[in-house]
Amino acid sequence: MEKVKIYDTTLRDGMQAEGISFSVEDKLAIARKLDEFGLDYIEGGFPQSNPKEAMFFQRLAEQPLKHARLVAFGSTRRAGNTVEEDPGIRALLEASAPACTVVGKSWDLHVSTVLRCSLEENFAVCADSVSYLKKNGKEVIFDAEHFFDGYKANPEFAIKVLQAAAEAGAACLVLCETNGGKLPHEVFEITSTVVKALPGVEIGIHCHNDTDCAVANSLAAIRAGARHVQGTINGLGERTGNANLCTIVPNLTLKMGFDTVGTEKLKTITELSRFVFEVANMTPINSMPYVGESAFAHKGGLHIDALRKNQKTYEQIDPETVGNSRKYLISELSGASNVLDKLEKKKLVSDKVVARKILQRVQDLENEGYQFETAEASFDLLIHKTLGDYRPCFELKKYHIDIERTPESRIVTEATIKLSVDGETVHVVSEGDGPVNALDSALRKALEPFYPNLKTLSLIDYKVRVVNARAGTAARVRVVIENRDQDGLWGTVGVSENIMEASWIALVDSIEYKLLKDAGRMK
């Protein structure tokens, strides 16, 4: 298998995404995770830009990466400076990284309007920077900024920039599609021309996603002869993002037959994607190819029936190849096969009549506004209620919620609950930060003396959505609650015209599921 080198720039280009700011500890954690994944290069950032970047390189110098080569990023020397006196070049030398990426201008427009020097001087700027860093022991990667725009405007100049960097000792020449405006056929044609013009020189590709073609453009360049590809985990980056390595790496490995990180490491790419989302404090993109939670989620009954017979019928690859898993979603579009699969996996029953009965109940509830895709715990309870083996852990007598505004403008919310637990009547009151929190607090206060394990239950998310908005203030609302304990997390759902009743239904399901699960009555 021919090798394609994978170069990650999440810690530099990815940090340019709106809303992203990694601390030094964040960057170190991501760098270690990327290193474990088996990447060839990890670009750490621009050491001259701020003290945080310098600290990151210092910390990694003390505990180097085990597999990947750490890369410091910077610009070529400034026009008019000597390379020895240039502060940016000096910062690259002092960064304690074995490799450096220097970005140089390959579009004559930028040379004349940004650098404001002659085209000849730009050749010297690029060559001096590469040569000096190489003489000082660095592996040098040359990023030809705006290369594709530059080539279309002045192909002779753009090629000469690459030749100057190659002759100065650059290990790889990276063609940067900086503005993200090119399409795959253009990238393929131009990259093919470069590969032919510079035989024996390693060519790389760096794409941005402004036309939603960053991955396709990267693969087109590889097909044209590039053997080094740059991108970020989850496609993080400025504007619309960079080429997504979570799609590129599986495509290169599984579809194009290249050696990248190896098949064993590829099985951890879904975990890597979710780790970076978590550190970045971002909600994962469920629809992302290969690694998204919905990448192998199936909803249509006909699809699931076929998949149960042969997984190749509706899946391009085995989900486990990329560390993901198959999901059969339960909804009004489901067939009996969806439900039957759930029942068989739980080892409850293998009966199509029962499956159709449960499906009918799901369809009836979804017609009322329920949705079970993110509320599997509520669906599991529904199964047991339909099978007839469900026994409630408590019985509601009544609840009451009171909201008062004091003369000091303080809002006081109080919930009162009366329950029957094991034949004993329990009547409690509790305050909370809002009606749902007060209701939750009162319910726990009533039940914890009977079920102490409820102390390990945490409500971590609460979502409300209007189901039939045209009904205005009388519309039904759907409440979805996500809970967690020491063993995992689960979602529940409630629907009602009254938001508190919808919340109550979802809260009760959350607690019932927890109690039944801990008692071994949920499979």
Q: Residue 189: which CATH number? A: 3.20.20.70
Tens of pLDDT, residues 11-51: 999 999 998 988 899 999 999 999 999 999 999 998 877 78
Under DSSP, is residue 252 helix (H, G, I), strand (E, B) or coil?
Answer: helix
Q: Provide the pLDDT for residue 475.
A: 76
d(CA 352, CA 344): 11
Under DSSP, is residue 123 helix (H, G, I), strand (E, B) or coil?
Answer: helix
Q: Which amino acid would we find at residue 92? A: L
Report the greatest alpha carbon distance in the chain.
91
Domain that holds residue 41: 5-261
Give the chain's domain count. Answer: 1
Tens of pLDDT, residues 371-401: 777 788 888 888 888 878 888 889 999 999 9
Task: With cut-offs at 50, 70 and 90, classify the pLDDT of residue 168.
Answer: very high
Mean local confidence (pLDDT), 218-244: 97
Q: Helix 376-387 to helix 352-368 angle, to the nearest 10 degrees?
A: 130
202 compared with 383, residue with greater pLDDT? 202
| 150 within a domain of the structure (yes/no) | yes
Q: Provide the pLDDT for residue 158.
A: 95
DSSP letter, residue 148:
H
Q: Provide the pLDDT for residue 470.
A: 62
| 497 within a domain of the structure (yes/no) | no
Per-residue DSSP letters for 217-228?
HHHHHHHHT--E
User: Is 60 exceeded by the pLDDT of residue 337?
Assistant: no
| 282 within a domain of the structure (yes/no) | no
| 481 within a domain of the structure (yes/no) | no
Cα torsion through 343, 348, 354, 360, rounded to 10 = -50
| 43 within a domain of the structure (yes/no) | yes
Q: Provide the pLDDT for residue 151.
A: 96
**Over pLDDT 70: what percentage of the chain?**
91
d(CA 389, CA 374): 24
| 315 within a domain of the structure (yes/no) | no
Range scoring the smallest mean pLDDT among 161-165, 287-291, 334-338, 508-512 = 334-338
| 236 within a domain of the structure (yes/no) | yes
Q: Which helix (H) or strand (E) holds 388?
A: none
Three-state SS for 172-233 is: EEEEEECCCCCCHHHHHHHHHHHHHHCCCCCEEEEEECCCCCHHHHHHHHHHHCCCEEEEEH
Q: Provide the pLDDT for residue 419.
A: 93
| 492 within a domain of the structure (yes/no) | no
Do residues 429 and 399 touch, judged by C-beta distance below 8 A?
no
Q: Whose CA is closest to 178, among 153, 205, 197?
A: 205
Q: 369: left (phi > 0), else alpha (psi -120 to 50), else beta? A: left
User: Is 60 exceeded by the pLDDT of residue 331?
Assistant: no
Would strands 203-207 and 69-75 be described as parallel, antiparallel, or unpaired? unpaired
